[in-house]
Structure 1
Amino acid sequence: MTASPLLSVPGAVPAEGRDAGIAAHYGNPLVEQRELEAGRAIVDLSNRGVVAVSGPDRLGWLHSMASQALQHLAPGESAEALFLDANGHVEHAVHLVDDGETAWLVVEGSEAAALAGFLDRMRFMLRVEVADRSAEFAVIGGFGDALAQAPAGAAPDWADPWAALQRGGHQYAREAEHPASAWRWRERIVPAAALDGLAAEAAAGRVRLAGTLALEALRIAAWRPRLAAEVDEKTVPHELDWLRSAVDLGKGCYKGQETVAKVLNLGRPPRRLVMLHLDGSDTILPEPGDAVVALKDQGDGEPERRTVGRVTSAGMHHELGPIALAVVKRAVPAGLELIVEAHGVDVAAAQQEIVPADAASAVDVPRIPRLGPRA
């Protein structure tokens, strides 16, 4: 991963792991988080990938393969879509915006080449062209009007649909006021060469920057799933409550659709996403992959430790304190106190349900047609 020009800004500290190549913070993550949330700072996401799909058949073609209804997407309209395998497991997640001639897909940087290759193999005789343009373009993001201080975009800004239950979607979370209700996140695709000028503006104090630590903490608090964090080889969209923004239950068949219908209408998600409120007394944050443990009383005074899930993301929120997202087994009771094994220390964790433990089959959603695209 090539280092971003914005790492040259004074105070920039490089991120590691899934966000290598961009800044974790610029000196004060909590201040940056407040500025970001208030719409006064932008985030460098130039480690993301950009795939362009052009040609007159592009939207109908993408519609036929993705979980989201894309066929009638208007120029400038945003959508989120998943590409699933035959068993309904998540393979790719895309942030898509169309400019009337080209559909622009923003993905995790590690996914761009694989997604472009998959799409290229699926073109057949249709009038579409696929190109991985990650080397030419970069992505920056911000809340509200923050991107007004950023370079002009090569395409319309992508507005994250996570803020509300989307048409054709389904929400498992029972929160009367979903924490994503104020999630006004936007992403902009800019020429990669524009980052040098943006770095100069930031160094001169004319642009405010926030790092990935700030963004991740806000994302966790909004229960917003991310492919590079919450998804593994077994993930189905239901486990992350991703049906609310990335799946249209009224569209025609696509790969993995039968699993989507079966889990929704006949069963329960095999696992479920929870938010963990962590004990901050030891000032320890878990790492992705750390075990989530439940204690079971054996009656002999020595409780049995059982691993019931894994941490997927963790952060320090400026109001909530240390928080994390974790994927746990479906059967873990909602009120059960949990422990996270982090850096050799037991960190107490209180779970807040996102996908409820007793999430039952959904009988009030439209039946999913097996054949044919939606008109």
Structure 2
Amino acid sequence: MTVYFTPLPSSSLRVTGADRTDFLQGQMTNDIRSCPAPGMVPACFLNVRGQIEHFARIYRRKDDLYLHLDAGEAAQLAARLRKYIIFDQVEVHDLSDQLATLHLWGDGPADLPGWPDPQAVPAGGAWEVQLDHAQVLLGAVNRTGVMGLDLHYLTAQQEEVLAWLAEHLAPQALPWEELQAQRIQAGLPEPALDAFAGLLLQEVGLDLDGPLPAISYRKGCYVGQEIMARLEARGKPRYGLAQLQVAAGTLAGSEVLAGSKVVGQTGLAAGGLALARLRLDLPADAPLEVAGQSVQRVQGVQP
């Protein structure tokens, strides 16, 4: 298999201080206390109505917590977190201008001494490795339907990191748009890219039985937790994640109509496909429309 890499438009936060783990545990949907160090969990930050405000992959390390977010997300999440710091010994640092991330996938890393094989470990594995003089944080992340590695590094060391990869892996560059097409075809949501903010995580594939589990129902209290507990007790939500065949140029957040009734909304479109939040009670053959054009359901809604 050829090895590919794609730079990821990103932003990032670093949370430090003696109370950092307990503090973040009370803000996020997943269980960072049970995460090994190093290790990573995907999680959402909800409002009091249980709706998604932010999604992050959160790395637990010996001395800090590193939050990897999509571009433009860090400042808003940092402001939210600082509102809740009262007596906690916690500091929130925005490192978006100092760190960069690329995604690497293929079979090359398995053959390198000291590198993990992303195919042999579950999502959430994390490692710190040295590439000559550059310290790199690796995370096992499935962005294409194949488990790969996110590489986080200092922007000041980007040239060194790329040179090392070129020498040892000779990866082929994969455009960001192609990476998104692979992701959508694999049915993997990314809440910020798919404009799923303001929705319930159970509706868009982030529940325990979804393609990107980002919640623990046993971790204790956090903002929005009461709504999550009610949904768990009630069972399935009214909406689920579906895959639609759409026209080029379809915008994320576009309404999906069945007749004159709004029955969902689209995520990011790439490669002629888009993920969508769609009503679960729709007949399988219901005609659907987005922006005046007919669309087809490619796969059934996720359970």
Q: TM-score range by the shorter chain?
A: 0.7 to 0.9
Contact persistence 1:291–1:307 (CA under 8 A): yes
Gap change, CA 1:338 and 1:49, over 3 Å in 2: same
**Bigger mean CA deviation after superposition, 95-104 or 331-340:** 331-340
Q: Provide the C-alpha distance between the structure 2 equivalents of 1:135 and 1:250, rounded to a whole number of angstroms.
A: 36
Matches within 5 A, 1:326-341: 326-341=276-291
Contact persistence 1:88–1:256 (CA under 8 A): yes
Aligned equivalent of 2:121? none
SS in 1 for 2:18: coil
Q: Does 1:252 align with 2:220?
A: yes
Q: Which deviations, in whole Å up to 9, do the C-alpha atoms of 1:89-126 show, x marking residues without a partner? A: 01111111122111111012211011122222323222
Q: Provide the C-alpha distance between the structure 2 equivalents of 1:202 and 1:347, rounded to a whole number of angstroms.
A: 44
Q: Provide the C-alpha distance between the structure 2 equivalents of 1:121 and 1:50, rounded to a whole number of angstroms.
A: 18
Contact persistence 2:194–2:253 (CA under 8 A): no
Q: Does 1:193 align with 2:156?
A: yes
Q: Provide the C-alpha distance between the structure 2 equivalents of 1:209 and 1:347, rounded to a whole number of angstroms.
A: 34
Aligned equivalent of 1:309? 264
Aligned equivalent of 1:223? 187
Q: Does 1:105 align with 2:67?
A: yes
Report the TM-score when normalising by structure 2: 0.80
Aligned residue-pair number: 279
Contact persistence 1:139–1:189 (CA under 8 A): yes
Matches within 5 A, 1:355-370: 355-356=302-303
SS in 2 for 1:239: helix
Aligned equivalent of 1:158? 139
SS in 1 for 2:192: helix
Q: Where is the strand percentage greater, Structure 1 or Structure 2?
A: 2
5+ residue gaps, structure 2: 116-128
Gap change, CA 1:100 and 1:201, over 3 Å in 2: closer
Alpha-carbon RMSD: 3.1
Matches within 5 A, 1:28-47: 38=1, 40-45=3-8, 47=9
Gap change, CA 1:154 and 1:102, over 3 Å in 2: farther
Q: Provide the C-alpha distance between the structure 2 equivalents of 1:325 and 1:314, rounded to a whole number of angstroms.
A: 8
Q: Which deviations, in whole Å up to 9, do the C-alpha atoms of 1:323-364 show, x marking residues without a partner? A: 2211223432234243343xx6x34413422334xxxxxxxx
Contact persistence 2:193–2:267 (CA under 8 A): yes
Q: Does 1:48 align with 2:10?
A: yes
Report the TM-score when normalising by structure 1: 0.66
Contact persistence 1:53–1:131 (CA under 8 A): yes
Percent identity of equivalent pairs? 24
Contact persistence 1:151–1:198 (CA under 8 A): no
Tell me how far 1:274 sits from its aligned partner.
0.6
Tell me how far 1:210 sits from its aligned partner.
0.9
Contact persistence 2:32–2:60 (CA under 8 A): no
What letter matches 1:92 in structure 2? H
Q: Provide the C-alpha distance between the structure 1 equivalents of 2:19 and 2:95, rounded to a whole number of angstroms.
A: 20
Larger Rg belongs to: 1
Matches within 5 A, 1:13-162: 38=1, 40-45=3-8, 47-144=9-106, 152=131, 154=135, 156-160=137-141
What letter matches 2:300 in structure 1? E
